[in-house]
Structure 1
Amino acid sequence: MQTGEAQTGADDALAQDFVQFAVDAGVLRFGEFKTKAGRLSPYFFNAGLFDDGAKLGRLAQFYARRIVGSGIEFDMVFGPAYKGIPLGAAVAIELARLGRNVPFAYNRKEAKDHGEGGSLVGAPLQGRVLIVDDVMSAGTAVRESIAIIRAAGATPHAVAIALDRQEKATEDGRDVDHSAVQYVRSQLGMQVCAIAKLADLLQYLAHGAAAGDLGAHHERVLAYRQRYGVEDAG
């Protein structure tokens, strides 16, 4: 098992606290939502709704605690456009507050032809780079980031995300037997750490179901995982 994959003990508590925070913030919602893959999901996670200073600051605390706890070694943080830009910046600030001050950079979708020019902003990309993003659906954004980082002569080393959906990715419109996270780990050779996983969400819902208020959501999310979940998701 790679560094950063295990989530036990205090880490489980961190994940449960994060799921509760996401629910309270309205970022994690339950109902019926169509995913990019065309599936009808019983839950939806929209990190764009961490939309004020307090929420973003607390989100960064969760990221930083998970990253530090993972033991992943890295030299700088990269935030891919667009959602990764505020996430990466906030995480870099929180890491510095925890005593781990590292450079930070991000990319533009369109390169500038004036001023400093180019498509990269911030510190020069160098060393082992940690990519910070919200979720990983198909791994496309990660592959784009890898190309940018390698083109600059740096090493794409690891990825930190908020939620691992632990479900089958799609390729050419069909389901495959691995998740985007598993693909990034096994095929791209990068470490991935997630603040929480679908298994943590199910644990949260199970506790609520025992109290009688989240039982229906637990059953639907469990059925969704049984249909689309990946084996040995970690």
Structure 2
Amino acid sequence: MDWKNEFIDFCIKKKALKFGFFKLKSGRISPYFFNSGVLSSGIEITKIGLLYAQSIINSKIEFDVLFGPAYKGIPIVVSTAMALKKDYYLNIPYAFNRKEYKKHGEKGDIIGNNIKNKKIIILDDVITSGKAIHYSIKTIEKNEAQISSIFVLLDRQEQGKRELSTINCLNDKKKYNITSIITIQDLINYLLKDNILKRYVPALIQYRKQYGIY
């Protein structure tokens, strides 16, 4: 799709998407790296919010609250809530987690809207093996809320605690759907059409053969 290519082009120009050799949290050496943290201006975060809002509306998923995992998920849920209000006239509340449980003041491990008994969409920047997102799932389950779906900018589609487009929850083994703006395959398709950038394709294909899920 044109908007997928537009987003990849945007990320490369802003240096949010880089190619080379990068050691991931998992210890794997990746030929590419995505860092949404550099998309930090008003124009950039507005664009990100609109992409998420469009994807959420297109999914037709029922939900009550947007949830952003600390820390990169926080500006994502704020910008998405604003985009849903501005472009779709939906006044959707959001929440995000603390890294540490607060024992005074408002207390708890959630800031923002009360998520108990609500239908939640998790918004994060990247999903790899699914290990990191489990912390958010655990937090939401502990607060007695229901997860409707998970939305990410980039799905690296790597082996781990998940299948191709789903991830298992911790308690009852229910599978939650993952919707991504782009995947590693979208990235490969984009690079193949660029005479300069296509030199990175063999490394991405080899990496996917080693760690990818299909």
Distance change (3 Å), C-alpha of 1:224 and 1:147: closer
How far apart are the structure 2 equivalents of 1:111 and 1:40?
A: 33
Q: Aligned-pair distance for 1:180? A: 7.5
Q: Aligned-pair distance for 1:65? A: 1.2
- In the other structure, the counterpart of 1:147 is 138
SS at match of 1:190: strand
SS at match of 1:121: strand
Runs of 4+ in 1 over 4 A off after TM superposition: 178-181
Say which structure is richer in strand: 2
Within 5 Å, which residues of 2 pair with 1:52-201?
Answer: 52-97=41-86, 98-125=88-115, 126-169=117-160, 179=163, 181-184=165-168, 187-201=173-187
| Letter matched to residue 121 of structure 1 | I
Q: Deviations over 1:111-144 (max 9, x none)?
A: 2233222221111104210011111223233322
Decide whether the 8 Å contact of 1:104 with 1:123 is kept in 2. yes
Which structure has more RCO (C-alpha within 8 Å, separation ≥ 6)? 1
Q: Name the TM-score, length of structure 1 as normaliser.
A: 0.82
How far apart are the structure 2 equivalents of 1:75 and 1:163?
A: 23
Q: Name the TM-score, length of structure 2 as normaliser.
A: 0.89
SS at match of 1:89: helix
- In the other structure, the counterpart of 1:21 is 10
Aligned CA-pair RMSD: 2.1
Distance change (3 Å), C-alpha of 1:166 and 1:141: closer
SS at match of 1:140: coil
Gaps of 5+ in 2: none
Matched pairs, number: 210
SS at match of 2:125: coil
Identity percentage over the alignment?
36
Distance change (3 Å), C-alpha of 1:25 and 1:195: same
- In the other structure, the counterpart of 2:27 is 38
- In the other structure, the counterpart of 1:51 is 40
Answering whether residue 201 of structure 2 is matched by residue 218 of structure 1, we say: yes
| Letter matched to residue 137 of structure 2 | I
| Letter matched to residue 64 of structure 1 | A
How far apart are the structure 2 equivalents of 1:184 and 1:96?
A: 31
| Letter matched to residue 150 of structure 2 | V
